[in-house]
Amino acid sequence: MKLDYETLAVSRHDEHVLMVRLNRPQASNAMNTQMGVDLMELFEQFQLDVEGIRTVVVTGTGEKAFCAGGDLKERNGMTDTQWLKQHAMFERMLRAIISCPIPVIGAINGAAYGGGCEITAAFDFAYAADTARFALTEVTLGIMPGAGGTQNLPRAVGERRAKEIILTGAPFTAQEAFEWGLINRVMPQAQLIEETLKTAGRIARNAPISIRQAKQSITRGLQMSLADGLAFEIECYNRMVSTKDRLEGVRAFNEKRAPQFQGH
């Protein structure tokens, strides 16, 4: 697995948890073209081989910003063609995060504006420092959210709240993000990474095939009717019946010990 990226600091926290830091602190971790390419490459590789990784945690370098959105200094002076080409890559990057077969958890350490807020909404779920702030400011710049913001945010906070957030462009606090459903937990900055990694570790100790199938069932099932979703759930469930991990889980329960799942 490639761990060396120009705009990301990537490391294995342990055998099964990958830590990813957006690493442009001099620019408030703003999303430039290279960061988009790096994130796209990182997450697309999981479609081919997860290489033992069972959970990914994404945060930003420093304590002030998770991601300040698109790098407007880089975008200043772009032609229409250049702008559209860059944005097409950002769209592909977001799809790679959303379609990642393993859980992706955000640890939102600071400001998550524009694209940073859209990435937050694309994660499976996220925790935030109590100092974090959020906003989708695109309409104040003559554009609109175009990296999943108009789709993922309403799914997290509801249609009416999402319209208020997007149409005003107004910032909101971590506590408001929690109360509205964008963030799962809010905690002091000093506890954020530790608590997020604790949750990631708990997920990683569970059966890998079960986790991937459950994630897929939830994500895709929400796009179906209830009847189709229930049918799809059983398709996902049946995938695990013949696995060694299913046998190990039952055996470990009866032997009163922790299971040792291998992903087979």
Catalytic residues: 118, 138
Alpha helices (runs of H) in 12-158, residue ranges in sequence order: 33-44, 72-75, 80-98, 115-122, 149-157
Is the Cβ–Cβ distance between 130 and 162 less than 8 Å?
no
The label of the residue with tokens 């913001």 reads 149
- Name the CA radius of gyration of the chain, rounded: 19
Report residue 170 as tokens.
Answer: 């107004």
Spatial separation of the C-alpha atoms in residues 161 and 164, rounded to whole Å: 5
Closest CA to 29 of 68, 63, 59, 64: 68
Spatial separation of the C-alpha atoms in residues 110 and 189, rounded to whole Å: 9
Report residue 66 as tokens.
Answer: 């998770």
Spatial separation of the C-alpha atoms in residues 254 and 197, rounded to whole Å: 29
Q: Strand, coil or helix: what is 137?
A: coil
Alpha helices (runs of H) in the chain, residue ranges in sequence order: 33-44, 72-75, 80-98, 115-122, 149-157, 159-168, 174-180, 189-204, 208-221, 226-241, 244-254
